Structure 1
């Protein structure tokens, strides 16, 4: 589908880990295919019996259940991780998939903790909003009105430099961020703003899709979540507000949402994606 300018009980956290979102009523949900990098198909809810225990222990991602729905929760910790954005190869050709990005990384690159698609894009795979990669601003902040999730105000920006990562609404970012960050990606809508749910998000809307998002807690940790089944905006937003206690959370995308978790043997494939957020492991001190 065309993608132009474009959304309880939790298991203990100790055991944790785009095409257009708007689908016509009655249209089947399109699911990103989850692949096991070892060659087989990976289930949506991996069990201990089917997962390598050492890989799971080293993974930054863990399965969670929230309001009877399965999610994967991945945590980036400033002391252990470095965050970058990625879009295209050295010739400027967009990767369009996590697999293509994985293949293009050099052997000398830092090991990957995990990566996700991270921001909305046009048919050519180019970001429709603010995008910074390696301190180079590729696309300016987008404050235009329009249809679709991206323009559901307030939208926002996930950005950072060094060990400091933040999620801010677009207007907050414009008013208060004066230095260009090392990385940044704009998406929308915001799911949680100042500890409150986005005012226009219903409890459980009719739109049910595979979705992913990011939020930063008060300790500076970035929490990435991807659903393993179709969920509403409201359920994803409540997970951030009620269980992860994240004051600001940003919707990254839906329908094409994908995760690369090397330690868990997961590399999702499916519809072409655009910007990516990559969490690298820092060298052991």
Structure 2
């Protein structure tokens, strides 16, 4: 009886882990995506940029190695917002309560400045994508946060400047959050897509009220469930990932 109980507890724990960080490939309207769903009630999401010496981690494997030295492991991970050539964030960046870049609220060149843009806010067992002006107004209590742009979905509506027949097509990645903040969905296209199709994927397929674009051609994902660990040719700036104790 004791063995059966122990086995049941072990299987239950394994099932809970699988449900918490669930990565899968999905097809929608002729496009392929890899999606990782993170349950904030069981998983810990963190943002990472610099190591203890002030050097950008740059790669998922470098970050995982550093976490291993502290008895932790990196699970799912993804690039998390736009950055300059020196890997400093373009927009607001807060890591474990330390602000490294202020909020940028003005319009500007490039995708980041295509307003409205937004902020991914990580709080106590929750994650929220928030449009930038609302973020400034509401001043939510984030432990960590990263700003990027444009917003893909704002309160259930696509970004007003997206065109269905838009000709700018790239591999793209982004994040959407559930209305209750308990689930975050990270997606990367496995082929080139335009902004409209990418936004529709978050709004109509994943059915998320708010979603934020992270980046384009440099987009990478680490998804152990899928046997995926994108290396790329150049180091990344901010990285977001699920961290667990060994």
TM over 0.5: yes
Deviation (angstroms), 1:144: 3.2
Unaligned runs of 5+ in 2: 1-16
Structure 1 unaligned segments of length 5 or more: list them: 1-54
**CA displacement at 1:282 relative to structure 2:** 7.1
Aligned-partner Cα distance in 2 for 1:278–1:178: 21
1:137-148 equivalence runs, <5 A: 137-148=99-110
1:118 aligned residue: 80
Kindly indicate whether residue 130 of structure 2 is the aligned counterpart of residue 185 of structure 1.
no
* Structure 2 residue matching 1:105: 3-state secondary structure: helix
> Where does residue 260 of structure 1 map in the other structure?
222
Q: Output aligned runs, 1:221-240, within 5 Å.
A: 221-240=183-202
Of residues 213, 219, 231 in structure 2, which corresponds to 1:269? 231
SS of residue matched to 2:241: strand
- Tell me which residue corresponds to 2:11: none
Could you tell me which of 121, 128, 132 is aligned with 2:90? 128
Native 8 Å contact 2:47 2:240 kept in 1: yes
Q: Give the superposition deviation at 1:178.
A: 4.8
TM-score (norm 2): 0.87
> What residue in structure 2 maps to residue 247 of structure 1?
209
- Change in CA separation of 1:172 and 1:70 when aligned onto 2, cut-off 3 Å: same
Contact 1:204/1:235 (CA < 8 Å) preserved in 2?
no
CA distance in 1, matches of 2:79, 2:201: 19
Contact 1:192/1:247, CA 8 A, preserved across alignment: yes
8 A Cα contact 2:63 2:74, kept in partner:
no
In the comparison of the two structures, how many residue pairs are matched? 228
Secondary structure of the 2:127 match is strand
Name the structure where strand makes up a greater proportion of residues: 2
Q: 2:173 aligns with which of 209, 212, 215?
A: 212
Shift of 1:71: 0.5
What displacement does 1:56 show? 8.6
| Distance of 1:255 and 1:264 partners within structure 2 | 20
In structure 1, the residue matched to 2:241 is: 278
Give the aligned CA root-mean-square deviation in angstroms.
2.0
Does structure 2 retain, via aligned residues, the 8 Å contact 1:80–1:281? Answer: no
What TM-score do the two structures reach when normalised by structure 1?
0.75
Cα deviation, 1:230-268, whole Å, max 9, x if unaligned, reads 111111100111011111100011100001123432110
Of Structure 1 and Structure 2, the greater helix share is in: 2
| 1:62-111 Cα distance to aligned partner (Å, 9 max, x none) | 00001111101101102221111000111111122223222322244433
Matched, 1:197 2:147: no
